[in-house]
Structure 1
């Protein structure tokens, strides 16, 4: 999803979450459910970007590590950690993927006019994986392009 697609409407409802010290916003329409931490099954040879799967109501769901993809340092886990189960499109196909968040904050409606393109000089984050960003109450809020990120990850060979 591009920044132009986001700005087609005047407002956007998002779920805000933290990965490390970074706050991200994901369109609320993508959210299927939020789960408490649960056992995951590591996939041998899967690598750090999608290292595990989990059982969500009898369905095997891959667990993507957005911290690795967005170069966000790990922090110590606490009781705020949650798993978000999301509806995404991977290479044109509907899919369900989970991500782990260090905290889930709120569902908020933002004006799309405040969303900006990611500056090319923002070397801290891979700009090709971000739809945009906006200034929130505690700094910049990143808007990851989940479809693009997961499509790229799906095309990578298992090493």
Structure 2
């Protein structure tokens, strides 16, 4: 008799407006509360800016804008998913604003249905499939395909530019402090 056991995957579910989405937990590095956002000039409209994550600059995406759902309205439930996205073999970390995080669920691969080919307002190439859990459909996202390589490069470059500017400001502050200290103030 053939072994027909299917694979079980864990997904973190979250809401955007009234829709539930799922991201494979292997792609979610952290869940953060809202924090101060630094705007990035000339960034794409879906890039809210960057945040400081333990000393590293993390680009922050408004997922609702990226999915053509309008801008995120900040509430006490709004949070940031820190995602690990594969860009041609290179790991890129991105923060994604979501309306709320729901729970971690386990889904049997055999129960995942293909995304609808028509009638969906989302690009089917980044929808891994649909799963029905507790009478609700959850759109399972392929986090590696939400952003094109060009978009990820732009996000990474914008973040690097901000980091370089911050380092230059810090260096200038150190120089000014040394000047003040050398004068005996």
- Please give the TM-score of this superposition, normalised by the length of structure 1: 0.83
CA shift for structure 1 position 151 = 2.9
CA shift for structure 1 position 9 = 5.3
**Relative contact order, higher structure (CA 8 A, sep 6+):** 1
1:21 is the counterpart of 2:26: no
Cα distance in 2 for partners of 1:63, 1:76 equals 15
Cα distance in 1 for partners of 2:134, 2:74 equals 23
Pick from 106, 109, 117 the counterpart of residue 106 of structure 2: 109
Unaligned runs of 5+ in 1: 1-7
Superposed CA RMSD in Å reads 2.3
8 Å contact from structure 1 (residues 11, 109) kept in 2 = yes
Decide which structure has greater strand share: 1
Which shows bigger deviation, 83-92 or 69-78?
69-78
Which secondary structure does the structure 2 equivalent of 1:15 belong to?
A: strand
User: 1:75/1:93 Cα in 2 relative to 1: closer, same or farther (>3 Å)?
Assistant: closer
Cα distance in 1 for partners of 2:85, 2:72 equals 26
1:71 is the counterpart of 2:68: yes
CA shift for structure 1 position 17 = 0.5
Cα distance in 1 for partners of 2:16, 2:24 equals 16
Counterpart in the other structure of 2:127: 130
1:154 is the counterpart of 2:122: no
Unaligned runs of 5+ in 2: 158-185
Aligned residues: 151
CA shift for structure 1 position 23 = 0.7
8 Å contact from structure 1 (residues 54, 61) kept in 2 = yes
Q: Which has the larger radius of gyration?
A: 2
